[in-house]
Amino acid sequence: MRTDREFASRLLEGAKRGGADLAEVYVRSSRSLSVEVREQKVDALESSTDYGYSLRVIRDKRLGFSFARTKEDADSVIARAIEASRWTEQDKWLDLPWPSEQPILRIFDEAVASMNERGAIEKALRIEKAALDADEWIRKVRKASASFSKKDALIMNSRGLDMAYSATACTAQITVVAEDGSDSQMGWDFEGSRFLSDVVFEGVGKKAATRASLLLRAKTMSSVKCPVILDNSVATEFLGIFSSLLSSDSVQKGKSLLAHRQGEEVVNPLVSIVDDGLMERKLGSRPFDDEGVPTCKKYLIKEGILQGFLYNVYTARKDGVMSTGNAVRGGFSGLPGVGPTNLYIPPSPASSGAEALCRVMGRGFYITDAMGIHTANPISGEFSIGISGLWIEGGGLKYPVKEAVISGNILDLFKRVRLVGSDLRFYGNMGSPSLLIDPTDISA
C-alpha cells in the first residue's frame, strides 16, 4: 500500500499543478476466485485480479474525471481530468470531504485471502453434495458455486484525507431442482460473510433442497384476500425495492415516495430500517465509504417514522446536511453514487421465526419465493410479482402453492405489517426477518 500512497500523492500534486482547486485519487485492487460445480465435477473455475485508479478534480466549480489501469498512464490521466473540467458545467455543490478518524473493523480474514483453487473446489463440492444428500427428491443441481475475494482500497485527497483498508468476502450459493413424477420445483439459498468460518457450505445446500422439496405437488389456488408471511429471503427482496426510496439522490431527483416526509409515520410502527456499515464480518461493512467518509450506524426509519436518507458528499451539500458515509462506486472507473452499506430491518426479540408466525397467522399464505421483484417500479412503489409458497391452516402446512400473484404498493405493504419475526438473515448486504402482513390481495 505504501507504493500506492506515493503514487497517489504524485497524482494529487500533478492535478494541483494543472490548476485543480481540489483533487481526489481513488485506488482499488482486487483478487477473486470462484468455482462452479455440477455432478461433483468442476464446471467452471475463474481466477482474476484487477487494479485501477481514478482522479477526480474540481476546478472553478467544474468537475473533471479520468481513470486508468496502469501507473504509466498517470500523466495522461491528470491531463484528461483537467481538460474535462474545462468543459463541464459549474456546480456549486461539488466538494470533497475533510479528514476524519477511521474506525477499526474486523473485515479481513486471511483464510479467505489465501484460499487456493483446491480449497475453493472442495467448498463448492460440499454445497452440492449436501443438497443431493438432503432429500431423495433432489435430482438436479443447476448451479452450486463458491467465491472468495480480497479487495484493497485507498483514497487520498488534497484536503489531507488519507485512508485505506483491506477486506475479504466469501459466498456460497446453489440452485437445485426437486422432481416427483411430472412435477418439478426449484429451490435456492445463499450465504456470505467476510470470514470463512461464518459460511456453512453444507447448510446452504440443505436449505436449498428443503425449499425445493416443500413445493413439490404444488397446487394453483383461487384468488383470495388473506394474511401473508414473507419469508426472510422474500422480505429482504422487498427491502431492496424500498432501499431506492431512501436514497437522497432519488429524493432530490423526484423519484422517491418519501420526499418531504421526514418526521412522518410512513410504515407500521413495528418496522424500523437501519443502515450500519460498522457491523463486523458483514459483506457491506467497511470503515469508510468510497469518498473517505467514515461509515456509521443510523436509523433511516425508527418505529415507523422516517428519520432521514442516505447521503454522499454531493447530495448532502445540496440538502445542507452531513454525508452519512454512503458514497458507493461500481469500481475505480466510476464516480461516487449513493447506496447502502448493511441495510436491514431489526428483528423483534418478542417474536420468533417463520414457524411461530404461521401459528399466529393461523390461516393464510406463507410466501417462500417471489419471481420478478426487480420489475417493481422504484418510483411509484407499485409491484405485481409471481409468488409461490405454502398454504397454512390451523397454523401448519396444508399444501404448497404455485403460480400465484401478489400486487400492491411497497409503502402500503410495510404499513400493514402485523408482526416482525426474530429470524433476521442477510442476503448480501441486505437483511430482514420474516414478516407477517395483514390481509393482502392474491390472484391466481
The torsion region of residue 190 among left (phi > 0), alpha (psi -120 to 50) and beta comes to: beta
Instruction: Indicate whether 184 and 49 sit together in one domain.
Output: yes
Instruction: Indicate whether 175 and 230 sit together in one domain.
Output: no
**Sheet strands (E) in 209-277:** 224-230, 273-276
Instruction: Indicate whether 257 and 374 sit together in one domain.
Output: yes
Q: What is the pLDDT tens value at each position of the chain, 444 positions in all?
A: 666 899 999 999 999 999 999 999 999 999 999 999 999 999 999 999 999 999 999 999 999 999 999 999 999 999 999 999 999 999 999 999 999 998 999 999 999 999 999 999 999 999 999 999 998 999 899 999 999 999 999 999 999 999 999 999 999 999 999 999 889 999 999 999 999 999 999 999 999 999 999 999 999 989 999 999 999 999 999 999 999 999 999 999 999 999 999 999 999 999 999 999 999 999 999 999 999 999 999 999 999 999 999 999 999 999 999 999 999 999 999 999 999 999 999 999 877 889 999 999 999 999 999 998 888 888 888 999 999 999 999 999 999 999 999 999 999 999 999 999 999 999 999 999 999 999 999 998
Instruction: Indicate whether 252 and 351 sit together in one domain.
Output: yes
Instruction: Indicate whether 170 and 254 sit together in one domain.
Output: no
Helix, coil or strand: residue 382: strand
Residue whose C-alpha cell is 500506492: 4
Instruction: Indicate whether 79 and 198 sit together in one domain.
Output: yes
Could you list the residue range(s) of the whole structural domain that residue 54 is in? Answer: 2-214
Q: Exposure of 224 by Cβ count < 10 A (0-12 exposed, 13-18 middle, 19+ buried)?
A: middle
Q: What type of residue is 284?
A: G
pLDDT in tens, 132-158: 999 899 989 999 999 999 999 999 999
Instruction: Among 179, 214, 249, identify where a domain stops.
Output: 214
pLDDT at 128: 97
pLDDT at 378: 80
Instruction: Indicate whether 47 and 129 sit together in one domain.
Output: yes
**Which of 11, 27, 394, 437 lies closest to 234 in space, CA to CA?**
437
DSSP codes joined into one string, 95-125: --PPP-PPPP-----HHHHT--HHHHHHHHH
Residue 175 contacts residue 209 (beta carbons within 8 Å): no
Instruction: Indicate whether 122 and 151 sit together in one domain.
Output: yes
Q: How many separate domains does the chain show? A: 2
- Residues 385 and 356: their CA atoms lie apart, in Å, by 26
Instruction: Indicate whether 208 and 264 sit together in one domain.
Output: no
Give the contacts of 261 (CB within 8 A, at least 6 positions apart): 306
Task: Tell me how far CA of residue 310 lies from CA of 193, 300, 319, 322, in angstroms.
Answer: 23, 8, 11, 10
pLDDT in tens, 72-114: 999 999 999 999 999 999 999 999 999 999 899 999 999 999 9
Residue 15 contacts residue 129 (beta carbons within 8 Å): no
- What distance, in Å, lies between the first and last C-alpha atoms of the chain? 58
pTM for this predicted structure? 0.96
- Residues 7 and 12: their CA atoms lie apart, in Å, by 9
Q: What cell does 107 get?
A: 473485515
Residue 307 contacts residue 300 (beta carbons within 8 Å): yes
